[in-house]
């Protein structure tokens, strides 16, 4: 029997996630090397206002998709990914295609994250090849996943929902440091002219 306030049905799913869990999952999902590498390129190409407008339009589209998926998952909770909704409403072929394309998307995104990490490290160590740094990060991430996964399976001592705060704080600090360096370099450039 489910506890009061925790609906449970025959799928075995329980609604135990709190808003802080969802916040941490969303922060952990959006902060990566792409924030630093791609944002710089976008600002360089479109300018500050163009980048803000592009990110605003993209954010609005992502928000609409996520609200729609949130409504579907509340109305019809499935044990599985969102391709299960395509299976129910469209057909199994479409669901399979969505699942494969989603996997392919993240396989390519993960590879580009490791490549970007290697390129960022090459800035600090210019005589080292970026593939070495990419390989190092692949090993570290894989080892962390194996250790953290085993630890989470053995006990609930790991508070994985709080780790994205570290990444969020790092993103804010790096953004502030980059802005400060850009401001200082423009002030120094103006004073030497």
pLDDT tens-place string over residues 125-178:
889 898 898 999 889 888 877 776 555 444 444 454 555 566 667 667 777 777
Where do the structural domains in the chain lie, given as residue ranges? 33-77, 83-156+163-192
Q: What is the pLDDT of residues 20-35, one digit of tens each?
A: 777 777 766 666 666 6
Contacts of 179 (CB under 8 A, 6+ apart): none
Report pLDDT for 92.
Answer: 92
- Report the sign of the C-alpha dihedral through residues 163, 70, 61, 111, in that order: positive
Strand locations in 102-188 (E): none
Mapped onto helix, strand or coil, the DSSP state of residue 8 is strand
Query: pTM for this structure?
Result: 0.52
Dist. CA 191–CA 193, nearest whole Å: 6
CA distance 191 to 185: 10
- pLDDT of residue 60 exceeding 90, the answer is yes
For residue 25, give both structure tokens.
């999952």
What φ, ψ does residue 8 adopt, rounded to 5°?
Answer: -140, 135
Strand partners, 14: 8
Q: Please state, in angstroms and rounded to a whole number, the distance separating the CA atoms of residues 133 and 56.
A: 33
**CA 56/CA 42 separation, integer angstroms:** 13
């Amino acid at each position: 029997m489910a506890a009061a306030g925790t609906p449970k049905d025959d799928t075995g799913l329980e609604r135990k996630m709190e808003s802080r869990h969802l916040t941490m999952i969303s922060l952990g999902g959006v902060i990566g090397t792409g924030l630093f590498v791609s944002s710089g390129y976008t600002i360089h190409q479109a300018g500050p206002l163009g980048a803000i407008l592009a990110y605003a339009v993209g954010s609005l589209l992502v928000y609409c998709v996520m609200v729609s998926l949130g409504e579907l998952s509340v109305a019809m909770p499935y044990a599985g990914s969102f391709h299960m909704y395509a299976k129910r409403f469209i057909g199994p072929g479409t669901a399979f295609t969505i699942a494969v394309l989603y996997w392919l998307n993240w396989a390519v995104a993960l590879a580009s994250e490791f490549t970007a990490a290697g390129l960022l490290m090459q800035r600090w160590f210019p005589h080292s090849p970026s593939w070495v740094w990419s390989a190092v990060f692949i090993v570290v991430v894989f080892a962390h996943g194996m250790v953290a996964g085993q630890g989470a399976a053995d006990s609930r001592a790991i508070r994985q929902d709080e780790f994205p705060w570290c990444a969020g704080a790092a993103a804010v600090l790096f953004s502030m440091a980059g802005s400060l360096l850009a401001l200082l370099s423009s002030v120094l450039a103006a004073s030497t002219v």
